[in-house]
Amino acid sequence: MPTSPDLLRRRWIRASLSLLLLPAATLAAPAISTEGFTFAGETVVAGQTLALNGVGLRAVLWLKGYAAGLYLSSRARTPAQVLATPGAKRLQMRMLLDVDTKEFIKAFHTGIARNTPLAGQPALAERMARFDDLLRAIGTVKKLDVIDLDWLPDKGLQLALNGQLHGEPIPGDDLYAALLLIFIGDKPVDTNLKAGLLGKRQS
């Protein structure tokens, strides 16, 4: 028996409304390709499905260091929204050249000093030293290596290189927030990278 136009219209309206009511993270984000890398539209961290928020490139003049993608449980377009997003998070870096991890340690400390209020820095010092030790033990990251910096709720910051975990999670959402602000804070390591991670058009 043919379906009436009114019934079809009602079904279409119900289907459209149901999509609008879905949480942002359940709507699949598109994969993004840059510099020969493809960042998947979704990933799973700590059992939670996260969507790709944005992708950016760290570069100085003609020298390209790495591409990075930010995964969150819901879309965020400002640093405050990123930090307030609940659940797991992932910042994934894909290397475009070989780098001694001493350079990462230096950038880590400089970035936190520039983007974390002075009063909050002493509380991070011991945990930053633990993160330094993890990086120092790696020695050198190679071109095409993949670094995951994950926030695991109730556990902490987890470092992984090419899918292999390094060390135990380092606790404290204040530490992970300070880490993210290196990339998306008021004085980011790269303004174009910040724009990309926040899903904005890069200059």
Residue 150: count of CB within 10 angstroms of its CB: 23
Please give the model's pTM, rounded to 2 decimal places.
0.84
Residue given tokens 């930010």 in the structure block:
70
Q: How confident is the model at residue 36 (pLDDT cuts 50, 70, 90)?
A: confident
Q: Are strands 99-100 and 89-95 parallel, antiparallel or unpaired?
A: unpaired
Helix, strand, coil percentages (3-state) for the chain, rounded to 5, are 40, 30, 30
For residue range 147-164, list pLDDT tens digits in order: 999 999 999 999 999 999
Residue 76: count of CB within 10 angstroms of its CB: 22
Q: How confident is the model at residue 200 (pLDDT cuts 50, 70, 90)?
A: confident
The answer to the question of residue 145 being in a domain is yes
Strands (E) across 61-170 are located at: 63-72, 89-95, 99-100, 140-141, 146-152, 156-161, 164-170
Number of domains in the chain: 1
Residue 15: predicted pLDDT: 46
The answer to the question of residue 17 being in a domain is no
The answer to the question of residue 16 being in a domain is no
In this structure, the chain runs to a length of 203
The answer to the question of residue 53 being in a domain is yes
Q: How confident is the model at residue 27 (pLDDT cuts 50, 70, 90)?
A: low
Domain of residue 62, CATH code? 3.50.70.10
The answer to the question of residue 146 being in a domain is yes
The answer to the question of residue 11 being in a domain is no
67 φ, ψ to 5°? -100, 150
The answer to the question of residue 1 being in a domain is no
Q: Given a cut of 90, is residue 49 above it in pLDDT?
A: yes
The answer to the question of residue 19 being in a domain is no
- State which residues form the domain around 77: 25-197
For residue range 109-152, list pLDDT tens digits in order: 999 999 999 999 999 999 999 999 999 999 999 999 999 999 99
Q: How confident is the model at residue 201 (pLDDT cuts 50, 70, 90)?
A: low
